[in-house]
Amino acid sequence: MKIAIMGAMPEEVAPILEKLGEYKTTEYANNKFYEATYKGVDLVIAYSKIGKVFSTLTASTMIQHFGADRLLFSGVAGAISSSLKVGDLIVATKLAQHDLDITAFGHPFGYVPEGSVYVEADAKMIEMSKEVAKEMDKSVQEGIIATGDQFVANEEKKNWIADTFKADALEMEGASVAVVCNALNIPFFVLRAISDAADMDASFSFDEFLEKSAVESAEFVMKMVDKIVG
Ligand code: ADE
């Protein structure tokens, strides 16, 4: 078993690397990959840099070059659902790309060519996350995550994404990672802690809460790893 743990930003993987202590660093495809053995299981960890292209490259590299056979994503997101507040955790049930638009050819918004609008996350890891939440005494919501190459800081855009995709949170990497994992038959799990409400104050909120929310998410994902290896 080799587990990939990925984030988009340094702040999202730093708490994981801190927990591991020792790891080997390999440079590949203009990025750094950190390998470690944790409780007898091999891990590969990386932050992709922001956006769908980098996250696609990194997920694909972790699977095809480093041999990961499952992938857990940890990071922060903007809330759409009013029940999600800064610091709250959301587990993605399925993900869609809100900026993928071939509607001119009769497809719905977000439709992936020769695919579908949504990609579903691994049901077993979602089930497992409920046990982890109980053990940590944390409330974790499940919901739809919408991904796009935009930092959303605008109510109108956020409402459009909410209406079009029934999404509960939005970010910039989850759905592209989902497409990669789905194509390569790799079970995946996406967890996000809320950093902002994707409104006009989003950039300030993001700067203020990125680090704290990233730690919340990373702690939960490491408990998931404990459960998977244990
Ligand atoms: N990640 C965290 N907050 C976000 C936002 N408002 N838009 C896109 N990605 C985000």
What three-state secondary structure class fits 40? Answer: coil
Q: Which atom of ligand 1 is nearest to the CA of 153?
A: 6
Residue 111 domain flag:
yes
- Rg over alpha carbons for the chain, rounded to the nearest Å, is 16
Q: Is residue 229 part of a domain?
A: no
Where in the sequence is the domain holding 182, given as residue range(s)?
A: 2-221
Say what the pLDDT of residue 146 is.
99
Residue 130 to residue 189: CA distance in whole angstroms:
13
Could you read off the pLDDT of 163-177 as tens digits, one per residue?
A: 999 999 999 999 999
Average pLDDT over residues 35-42: 96
CA–centroid distance, 78 to ligand 1, in Å, is 4
- Please give the torsion angle defined by the CA atoms of residues 132, 137, 141 and 145, in that order, rounded to the nearest 10 degrees: -60
Residues 6+ apart with CB under 8 A from 79: 85, 86, 88, 168, 169, 194, 196, 197, 198
- Residues in CB range of 219: below 8 A, 6 or more apart: 15, 136
Please tell me the distance from the alpha carbon of residue 128 to that of residue 138, in angstroms, as a whole number.
14
CA 132 – ligand 1 centroid, Å:
25
For ligand 1, atom 8: residue with the closest CA: 151
pLDDT confidence tier of residue 18, bands split at 50, 70 and 90: very high
Spacing, Cα 71 to ligand 1 middle (Å): 21
Q: For residues 139 and 126, what is the distance between their CA atoms, to the nearest angstrom?
A: 14
Tokens standing for residue 9 = 């930003």
Which atom of ligand 1 is least distant from the CA of 78? 3
Task: Enumerate residues lining ligand 1, CB below 6 A.
Answer: 76-78, 151-153, 170-172, 195-196, 198, 202, 206
Q: How close is the Cα of 37 to the center of ligand 1, in Å?
A: 32
Q: Is residue 180 part of a domain?
A: yes
CATH number for the domain spanning 29: value is 3.40.50.1580
Q: In 3D, which of 10, 191, 16, 198 has the Cα closest to residue 93?
A: 191
Residue 101 forms part of a structural domain: yes
| Res 125: pLDDT | 98
Phi, psi of 58 (to 5 degrees): -70, -45
Q: How confident is the model at residue 230 (pLDDT cuts 50, 70, 90)?
A: confident
Each residue of 90-134: pLDDT tens digit?
Answer: 999 999 999 999 999 999 999 999 999 999 999 999 999 999 999
Question: Which protein residue has the closest C-alpha to ligand 1 atom 2?
Answer: 77
227 in a structural domain:
no
- Per-residue confidence (pLDDT) for residue 12, from 0 to 100: 97
Is residue 204 domain-resident? Answer: yes
| Domain tally, the chain | 1
DSSP secondary structure letter of residue 102: -
> What is the tens place of the pLDDT at every residue in 177-201?
999 999 999 999 999 999 999 999 9
Instruction: Supply the residues annotated as catalytic.
Output: 12, 196
Task: Give backbone dihedrals phi and psi of 148, rounded to 5 degrees, phi first.
Answer: -165, 165
Q: Please, what's the largest Cα pairwise distance for the chain?
A: 51
Instruction: Answer yes or no: is 10 within a domain.
Output: yes
| Domain-embedded: residue 230 | no
Mean of all residue pLDDT scores within the chain: 97
pLDDT-based confidence at 21, cuts 50/70/90?
confident
